A and B are shown apart, each in its own frame.
Chain A
Amino acid sequence: MNAQALRRSRTDHAEPIPTGHVQQAMLPGNRLHLQHGPINLVIKAYGDDAEVRLAYERAERRLSGMLQSLVDNLSLLRSPDVPACVRVTDATSQQMISAVKRFKGEFVTPMAAVAGAVADTILVAIRKTACLRKIYINNGGDIALHLAPGQQMQIGIVPTLSEATPDSSLCITADDGIGGIATSGWDGHSMSQGIADAVTVIAESGAVADVAATLIANRVNCVDDRIERRPALDLDPDSELGERLVTVSVGKLSETAINDALDRGEQFAQTLVEQGNIHGALLSLQSHKRTVGLPFDRQKRLTS
């Protein structure tokens, strides 16, 4: 901020303006780390040096201002039923609204798509860089990816969000038509109404995968004394979930309870696959797993 803008802000605002900046750093393996408030992106583009540099510059340019645009639309994005006629100019916000509209009859706000949609819009900004073989934008586990023809990518899959160490991997090829992967669970960043340790979804975009993972994770659920729940507002005074109960701890469950919970999630995930909303899902709860759709049949166990 230059001195003039600073003076202006001092007189125009009763309170100091928020002091956030996009921070960036290079990580080993020529990956770019961009961070602004809750947005934490790890980006890798594969191509020749000049192209990759250009892609990273575009990513940074695209991110600057994005958080403010989302905040500007926040009340709309926190609303569970955005009227069909509403259009917003911010591409990320619009992507979030469009993503949740695909899941009719579900209580879900566009905020469920925020991580995936941020990754998607960054991907759009840098995908036009010529000659990049592949790109991933990892926004805290919600990933947007691009594969040029003939390319493939190995993705690590985590069994629980609290540990977040991959135990298996999934090979995605350009022919799969997959643009997004997202993982949701009760012990993650955001609140879940379900008890899944992790639900990983692959879909055509990061935003859609993000919403679907949230919804499936909510469905992995059962009634059990060992599950502790609290009203969402008790944890976050601004939560759009209101008084709905969210999971705060899950004790060791019986075999029956685990299978019961996974059955519900699996059934719902199967419906989403059949509707063409997602390509596949992997559900994980206390060392039990279920897979739905393709290409999770290609999943490989990682040996430690």
Chain B
Amino acid sequence: MPTDPNKTSKGTISSKSTRAASMTERFGAREKDGIVRCDACPVLCRIRPQRSGACGRYANVDGELARVDPLVLFENTRNSGDALVPFEESSAEWSGNLVRQETFVTAIGSGTTYPDYKPAPFIVATEYDGLDTVTVVSEGIFSYCGVKIKIDTDKHLGAEQADILCDEERVGHVTTGEYGSQMFSVGGVNHLTGGSKREGKITCNTLMALCNGKAVELTVDGGCSVLVQAGKAPVVDGVEEQRMRVGCGSATIGIFAQQWHGLVDEVIVVDDHITGVLSEHQAGRCLGMEPSGIRVSGRRSTPGRYFNVANPGQGWGGTDISDPYSIIESVDPNKAQPGMRLLMTTTTGDESIYCVLDDELNPVEENMPVAVQKVVDRISENCEPSLCSVLFVGGAGGSLRAGVTENPVHLTRSVKSMLTQVTMGGAPVYVWPGGGITVMVDITRMPENSFGYVPTPAIVAPIEFTLPRDRYAEMGGHVDYVQTLEEIREGYGDSTRSSTWNPKNPWPLR
């Protein structure tokens, strides 16, 4: 049996607090003798004062229905630079807080009303810098949701539009290739509810695992298997990716051309996407470099930029070659000269070779001069660690809005005009332009295990709407249900959980 601090014996709730009266009407009903009926599940328990229902999660506290699960509160330490305040021994009653703190109530553990024809669980009035601010807190049930995953890798993970499978079920697809990364789309309403029951369920499980920061094995149909975990390096076919390339071969030429100029006569940056050749490249021409006469294999796109110099593979620069000379197709004796200095490298600097043309114009490897090595090292230095990033995308424009205001479109308009700030578990979200409230959030900025699910299937995620109190009244908000932070704190007492604010997130109350 879970230890419940409010529980003394025989399910008695001993909190002396009074919770906001409104919760009772919202989640149940009052009966005579102080009994409340709980509508949270079909049992419809009738609960006497200071007792809990059959589930032990809802209770009657002084005649009011209350939820006994922890509700997460965030403490904001303002002026974190001044966090070290000397402890004054003389102060008789030390509050435990070193500096002035503000609190933001998250929707985690707040419960939900679904469909939302009752006001959202918490509508909190927090005094902040003299302004009354209202935060409407609800755990939303998202049927329209999914994740977009960015996988930092140069490896070819699979064809665009290919299915992404998890547990042998289609859960998403490969979408665009981006700079040094491949994008995956996982979830979405068509996988959640449009396919077979198993497809929906596996998709839901996959989404919840990804959103809660767990590692998930995704397989691209006809491609690689990728172990994806938010904030961690992707593992492609069992091999952990190390670093992102600095750019494509052509971009690498562009970035470092000036630094190579004078140290070498030619640079070839081997890259499966676009291999760059310095002297022929626009960057080299601008520096007044003479064409070296070294022609690489593959198809020339524009001067100094070559496609398909080799096949994709696990060798140099994402190609299948291990001998870099093999991509030198020819050396023009009219342009090349013995003694020419050639650098070949990859877009990460992981592989590099320095050579000098001999009398027969064949490249001969030599020790790399320190100055050249320094530039190669700089390529490595500019390569960032490969990571998987997971953004949750969900639509909060549906019935969830009814829990906030009587006239849901007012909420949509207020969000669009930036008057109402949307956060998820306290993390900032991007709100898509256009109709509805479609939001996108980096799950690593949310507290751990923020996501849950219902077997509909749909994802349950916390969502908070914050706006000035007077504006809340204007939009037809459920002002009668507004509680002060003190009321929530007092009412929820030990069943709230205080968390330290993630300093990367802007404080939502303004």
Q: Which residues of A contact B (CB under 8 A)?
A: 1, 6, 10, 16, 18-25, 36-38, 40, 53, 57, 60, 64, 67-68, 71, 140-141, 161-162, 164, 186-189, 191, 234-238, 247-249
Least CB distance from B14 to A in Å reads 13
Nearest to B141 among chain A residues (CB) is A21
> Across the interface, which residues of A come within 8 angstroms of B43, CB to CB?
37-38, 67, 71
Determine whether B40 belongs to the interface, using a CB cutoff of 8 Å to chain A: yes
Contact indicator A38/B10 (Cβ below 8 Å)? no
A185 to B237, CA, bound (A): 54
Cβ-closest chain A residue relative to B212: A25
Within the assembled complex, what's the spacing in Å between the Cα atoms of A189 and B7?
A: 12
B46 contacts A37, CB within 8 Å? no
Binds A, one of B48-56, B369-377, B417-425, B481-489: B48-56
Q: Which of A53, A67, A141, A188 contacts B42 (CB 8 A)?
A: A67
Separation of A249 and B1 alpha carbons in the complex (Å): 18
CB proximity of A38 to chain B, nearest CB, Å: 4
Alpha-carbon distance between A67 and B112 when the two chains are bound, in angstroms: 19
Nearest CB in chain B: distance from A291 CB, A: 23
Q: Kindly state the separation between the CA atoms of A70 and B422 in the bound complex, as whole angstroms.
A: 41
Question: Which chain A residues lie closer than 8 Å to B198 at the CB level?
Answer: 57
What CA separation (Å) do A57 and B117 show in the bound complex? 31
Cβ contacts A to B, 30 pairs, < 8 Å: A10-B117, A16-B117, A18-B39, A18-B40, A19-B40, A20-B40, A21-B114, A22-B454, A22-B455, A23-B454, A24-B455, A36-B41, A37-B41, A38-B43, A38-B53, A38-B56, A40-B55, A53-B167, A64-B455, A67-B41, A140-B1, A162-B9, A189-B1, A234-B48, A235-B10, A235-B51, A237-B46, A238-B46, A248-B10, A249-B9
**CB closest residue in chain A, given B33:** A237
Q: Is B48 within 8 A of A235, CB to CB?
A: yes
Question: Can you name the residue of chain B whose Cβ is closest to the Cβ of A114?
Answer: B54
Q: B257-289 toward A: CB 8 Å interface, digit per residue (1/0)?
A: 000000000000000000000000000000000
Residues from chain A with Cβ under 8 Å of B9 in the complex: 162, 187, 248-249
Q: Closest residue of chain B to A186, judged by CB?
A: B10
Decide if A18 touches B452 in the complex (CB within 8 Å): no
Q: Tell whether A189 pairs with B46 under 8 Å between CB atoms, given A6-B115, A20-B40, A237-B33.
A: no
Give Cα A67 to B43, complex, Å: 8
Given contacts A19-B115, A189-B56, list 20 more A-B pairs with CB under 8 A: A1-B115, A16-B118, A18-B39, A18-B44, A20-B42, A21-B114, A21-B454, A23-B453, A23-B454, A37-B40, A37-B42, A37-B43, A37-B54, A40-B55, A67-B42, A68-B42, A191-B10, A235-B51, A236-B46, A249-B10
Interface string of B88-117 (1 = CB under 8 A from A): 000000000000000000000000111101
Partner of B10, one of A16, A36, A187: A187
Q: How far is the CB of A190 from chain B (nearest CB, A)?
A: 8
Q: Mark B117-131, 1 if CB is under 8 A from A, else 0.
A: 110000000000000
In angstroms, how far is the closest chain A Cβ from the Cβ of B200? Answer: 12
Across the interface, do A18 and B41 meet the contact criterion of CB distance under 8 Å? yes
Q: Is B201 an interface residue (CB 8 A)?
A: yes
Chain B residues, Cβ within 8 Å of A16:
39, 117-118
Q: How far does the Cβ of B110 sit from chain A's closest Cβ, in whole Å?
A: 14
Cβ-defined partner of A237 (8 Å) among B35, B42, B455? B35
CA distance A57 to B455 in the complex (A): 11
Nearest-CB residue, chain A, relative to B458: A21
Contacts A22-B455, A187-B9 hold; do A236 and B44 have CB atoms under 8 A apart? Answer: no
* B505: Cβ under 8 A from any A Cβ: no
* Contacts A37-B55, A161-B1; A23 near B452 (Cβ below 8 A): yes
**B residues near A, CB below 8 A?**
1, 9-12, 33, 35, 39-46, 48, 51, 53-56, 112-115, 117-118, 167, 198, 201, 399, 452-456
User: Which of B46, B48, B55, B167 counts the most chain A CB atoms within 10 A?
Assistant: B55
A249 and B9 CA atoms in complex are apart in Å by: 7
**Which of these, B11, B35, B114, B455, contacts A19 with CB under 8 Å?**
B114
Asked if A188 and B452 sit within 8 Å, CB to CB, the answer is no
Minimum CB–CB distance from B212 to chain A (whole Å) comes to 10
User: Could you tell me the distance between the alpha carbons of A21 and B139 in the complex, rounded to whole angstroms?
Assistant: 14
Shortest CB distance B65–A (Å)? 13
In the complex, how many angstroms separate the beta carbon of A90 from the nearest chain B beta carbon?
13
**A16 to B484 Cα, complex, angstroms:** 27
CA A141 to CA B1, docked complex, whole Å = 8
Q: Tell me whether A19 and B113 are in contact (CB under 8 A).
A: yes
Bound CA span A6–B115, Å: 8
The smallest beta-carbon distance between A217 and chain B, in angstroms, is: 14
CA distance A57 to B44 in the complex (A): 27
Q: How far is the CA of A254 from the CA of B251 in the complex (A)?
A: 86
CB-defined contacts of A247 to chain B, threshold 8 Å: 10
Which of B54, B113, B456 has a CB less than 8 Å from the CB of A38? B54
Contact residue among A18, A21, A25, A71 (Cβ-Cβ distance under 8 Å from B456): A21
Residues of A close to B115: CB separation below 8 A: 1, 6, 19
The distance from the CB of B114 to the nearest CB of chain A, in whole angstroms, is 5
Task: Pick the 9 closest A-B CB pairs, nearest first.
Answer: A37-B41, A20-B41, A38-B54, A38-B55, A21-B454, A164-B1, A71-B42, A248-B10, A37-B43
Contact present for A236 and B51 (CB under 8 Å): yes
Q: Which residue of B lies closest to A238 (CB)?
A: B46
